[in-house]
Amino acid sequence: QVQLQESGPGLVKPSETLSLTCTVSGGSLTNYYWNWIRQSPGKGLEWIGYIHPSGSTNYSPSLKSRVSMSVDTSKNQVSLNLTSVTVADTAVYYCSRPWQYWGQGILVTVSS
């Protein structure tokens, strides 16, 4: 049974970097594109980007200048970094192995 679990700080200050980790259990990272999606409070879903364990990445153009993703196969983890955050980055962040498996999501609030 594949399970995904997001973790990281729930509160980030404006202009700082949001860093989240998605830990995968019950399956391997290999052969899949691992996606990050976010959902602002009361809003719809926004695709952030994906990473493949080979290192291949693709990011949303609207976030590309601030986003980076990485994979640690030894820990079965995928990470998301979003720099220079503003209140507009307040959202629930999800990781997904397309598209059947999702983490439960983590609410990240950007506030001073």
**By CB under 8 A, residue 5 contacts another protein:** no
Token representation of residue 96: 């997904």
Residue 45 or 87 having the CB closest to another protein: 45
Residue ranges of E strands in the chain: 3-7, 11-12, 18-25, 34-39, 45-51, 57-59, 67-72, 77-82, 91-97, 101-102, 106-110
Size of the site for another protein (CB under 8 A): 18
- Contact residue for another protein among 5, 17, 47, 68 (CB under 8 A): 47
Residue 58 or 109 having the CB closest to another protein: 58
Contact region for another protein (CB under 8 A) — 23-31, 66-74, 79-87, 98-106? 98-106
- Contact residue for another protein among 15, 45, 84, 86 (CB under 8 A): 45
- Contact residue for another protein among 74, 100, 111, 112 (CB under 8 A): 100
